[in-house]
Structure 1
Amino acid sequence: KPSRGLDPPPPLHSLFSGPHGQEHWSNDYPDCGGQAQSPIDIRTKSVQHDPALPPIEPQGYRSPGVGAFTLHNNGHTVEMSLPPSMFLRGLPQTYAAVQLHFHWGNDQDEGSEHQVNGESCPAELHIVHYNSESYANITEAKQQADGLAVLGIFIEVGDVANPAYDNIFNQLKNIQYAGQNVSIPPFDVHELLPRKLGHYFRYNGSLTTPPCSQNVLWTVFQQRVQISSSQVLALEGLYSTKAANSVPLVDNYRAPQPLNQRVVFSSFPVGECIGPSWHRWGVAAEPGERRTGPPLHFSWSGGSDSCFSPQDVTFSLSLQLLPTPTDPSPIAATSLWSDAPTYIQVESSSKTHRALTSEPKGWWWHQGFYLPG
């Protein structure tokens, strides 16, 4: 990645398309044609779970110091410098922060560099670090096989603006054209990250722009963060050139590269892609009365499936019958999923029933299911 201490690639308008586009990078930068390039399409069926992978532990992210951040439009992305007081634990060595930057598409369409099962997000955030435990600075580290580590965060579009990202996006109007900088007050960078820092994909790869150095330890978080439509449009409203000859700064992402013989590991069982979902509905019954509730129809959207794509799933269904608040007796019910009609077995502290008989008036049926993938 182009960054403080990293070699800058050509201007954007000639970087991703045309005679000097990404298909031709290896002509001038041999590593760009290497066997361990990034980004990649993460195919969850071939991912190997490694339970020994620990959660990522960002240090200093919440209080990154008193000095202002510098936000820069460098013609191919928006980049914000980060102080070395921000660093990562949970990796083989300690890695100090250098900068963060974004990749995005056009018309709020695909723009992330990494994909999962062939699907991308509208944008992706990268936070670049260098191995500060072994090397004195980024210039030294970028030459070494274990020199760099990058966090990748998928960004999707939601209905509500993300206030953490507003710390950056509200300033984009001040760096609309290439070469412009703006200073912004330090803020809680940790809020840019997803909540589940223990759920990620790990592989060895490269920088995704020239010189494409193959010395990056990638951590791509499974959980996505959401920003609003207007926040994405703020990115898409930038330019890769000076004001006098403006060229839109869009589609600044590299296509997925072959995995070759590399292995992608996950810190979590990939079957956990779809989490618990809950539905609640009510059925009232008089004492001694049998009562059948209406059919329950439920579904989940692609947006709630952090595996990104439709897939065959198995699931279990549990049902609970809860008394009205005026009746404190504990009651529970369970039933296995079946295509045939099933009975509800009701268990209380004193008796067991196979149907809703001689129990207090007013029931809430509480159903939850888990989709292990």
Structure 2
Amino acid sequence: MGSSASCEDCRVLFCWLCELSQKNWFLLLLAFLGALLLIWNCHTGVALLDQLWGKCDQPSAQLQSQSTGVDYGARDGPHTWRSADNNQSPINIDSDCVQLRCFDSPLIWVGYEELPLGIRLTNNGHTLVLHAAFQGETPCIDGGDLLGSFSFHEISFRWSWYNDCGSEHTLENAHFPLEMQCLHTDAIDNGHASSRGLLMVSYMFSLSTDNPFLDVIIQHLVAIQTAGQSVEIPPFPLDYLMPAFHTEFYSYHGSLTEPPCHRGAEWFIHPIPLAIGERQLHEIRKLRSRNGTRITRNARPVQERGDRLVYLNRYEST
């Protein structure tokens, strides 16, 4: 008896819903509620992303507090910058003068294959900067001879109008047309302008065929050709731009290459240059400085190595 009543109630409810679905006002109500839900989700996502961007921007202001006024011209260029007299970057790496260092723990790359919540490109007037926002843990590097874990912070690029003088670092006294520098900060000093707690991972680019992994940013540069512009682009895993390496890489103790050129940065130099096409390089060279002209050069000259050791790091499993 009870079962028959329940079936009858369900049948009545089903018929009522069918009748409602034929009415225009009911369909409009559903569409309105759906739109409200979509707007709420978008608002929540934007608010979360803005909050994460705020966390990304705060360390930048501390690490490179004077970077907006950086100039590479003949009048106010690197020769006028005030910095410490030693342990400065970039340097030339001479393979005949490096010291072999072996370790039994490989570099550990965590989270670089994960999809960020958002990625933002900025033309700050003297270089191109990439920030990535993560809802969970930020990608980090550990292992090797590092004393702790270093979290990803931002990527910046160095280039010039000429293919033989774009990079800041040189290998065997030879420049590359483009250098990509990936700044990391440690968990203790994260975002502070201190003399420790910084890891810079550097990748050189050689002129070759177009690099499809670079196109994820190259295709959006048209939106930020003017200094001060930013654009949020479809997110992609950071390992598109930063292939992991574990052995046969160079390292040395140096500094940041923009004022105030903080010392205490550990540099890792990727062992093999990556590819970049002439078209891609041309798109980067379209970015303009704050005076409206194209950025013709944004590389600090090579600094004296002094008595510092440059290591060739080799991972040897036991």
* Distance in 2 (alpha carbons) for counterparts of 1:205 and 1:52: 21
Per-residue CA deviation, residues 130-189 of structure 1 (Å, 9 max, x unaligned), is 011x23x312xx31x331101000111102x11111111111000001000000122121
Q: 2:155 aligns with which of 90, 93, 100?
A: 100
Per-residue CA deviation, residues 9-48 of structure 1 (Å, 9 max, x unaligned), is 2545xx112222111102xxxxx24210000001111100
Do 2:196 and 2:263's aligned partners in 1 also have CA atoms closer than 8 Å?
Answer: no
List gaps (5 residues or longer) in structure 2.
1-58
Do 2:164 and 2:174's aligned partners in 1 also have CA atoms closer than 8 Å?
Answer: no
Is 1:87 the equivalent of 2:140?
Answer: yes
Is 1:45 the equivalent of 2:103?
Answer: no
Do 2:68 and 2:124's aligned partners in 1 also have CA atoms closer than 8 Å?
Answer: no
Do 1:38 and 1:207's aligned partners in 2 also have CA atoms closer than 8 Å?
Answer: yes
Do 1:197 and 1:221's aligned partners in 2 also have CA atoms closer than 8 Å?
Answer: no
- Measured after TM superposition, the shift of residue 99 of structure 1 is 0.5
Match in the other structure for 2:164? 109
Match in the other structure for 2:281? 232
Q: 1:60 aligns with which of 84, 108, 111?
A: 111
Do 1:178 and 1:240's aligned partners in 2 also have CA atoms closer than 8 Å?
Answer: yes
Do 2:183 and 2:200's aligned partners in 1 also have CA atoms closer than 8 Å?
Answer: yes
Residue type of the alignment partner of 1:222:
P
Q: 1:130 aligns with which of 185, 189, 192?
A: 185
Change (3 A) 1:199 1:193: farther
Matches for 1:210-249 after TM superposition, within 5 Å: 210-241=259-290, 245-249=291-295
Paired residue secondary structure (1:163): coil
* Distance in 2 (alpha carbons) for counterparts of 1:22 and 1:206: 14
Do 2:200 and 2:265's aligned partners in 1 also have CA atoms closer than 8 Å?
Answer: yes
- Measured after TM superposition, the shift of residue 55 of structure 1 is 3.7
Do 1:162 and 1:227's aligned partners in 2 also have CA atoms closer than 8 Å?
Answer: yes
* Distance in 2 (alpha carbons) for counterparts of 1:54 and 1:258: 31
Match in the other structure for 2:72? 16
Do 1:70 and 1:80's aligned partners in 2 also have CA atoms closer than 8 Å?
Answer: yes
Matches for 1:1-373 after TM superposition, within 5 Å: 3=60, 5-6=62-63, 7-12=65-70, 15-26=71-82, 32-52=83-103, 54-65=105-116, 67-83=117-133, 85-90=138-143, 91-132=146-187, 134-135=188-189, 137-139=190-192, 142-143=193-194, 145-159=195-209, 161-194=210-243, 196-241=245-290, 245-268=291-314
Match in the other structure for 2:12? none
Do 1:11 and 1:240's aligned partners in 2 also have CA atoms closer than 8 Å?
Answer: no
* Distance in 1 (alpha carbons) for counterparts of 2:218 and 2:68: 25
Residue type of the alignment partner of 1:256:
V
Identity of aligned pairs, percent? 29
- Measured after TM superposition, the shift of residue 72 of structure 1 is 0.4
Do 1:176 and 1:237's aligned partners in 2 also have CA atoms closer than 8 Å?
Answer: yes
Residue type of the alignment partner of 2:297:
D
Change (3 A) 1:224 1:173: same
Paired residue secondary structure (1:125): strand
Residue type of the alignment partner of 1:23:
H
Instruction: Give the number of equivalent residue pairs.
Output: 251
* Distance in 2 (alpha carbons) for counterparts of 1:85 and 1:105: 31
Q: CA RMSD in A?
A: 1.9
Residue type of the alignment partner of 1:62:
E
* Distance in 2 (alpha carbons) for counterparts of 1:148 and 1:195: 18
Match in the other structure for 2:51? none
Do 1:64 and 1:86's aligned partners in 2 also have CA atoms closer than 8 Å?
Answer: no
The alignment's TM-score, normalised by the length of structure 1, stands at 0.64
Per-residue CA deviation, residues 194-241 of structure 1 (Å, 9 max, x unaligned), is 464422111100000100000201101111110111111111111012
Residue type of the alignment partner of 1:260:
G
Paired residue secondary structure (1:267): strand
Q: Which has the higher contact order (CA 8 A, sep 6+)?
A: 2
Residue type of the alignment partner of 1:223:
I
List gaps (5 residues or longer) in structure 1.
27-31, 270-373
Structure with the bigger percentage of helix: 2
Do 1:73 and 1:79's aligned partners in 2 also have CA atoms closer than 8 Å?
Answer: yes
* Distance in 2 (alpha carbons) for counterparts of 1:157 and 1:210: 29
Change (3 A) 1:68 1:246: same
Do 2:128 and 2:156's aligned partners in 1 also have CA atoms closer than 8 Å?
Answer: yes
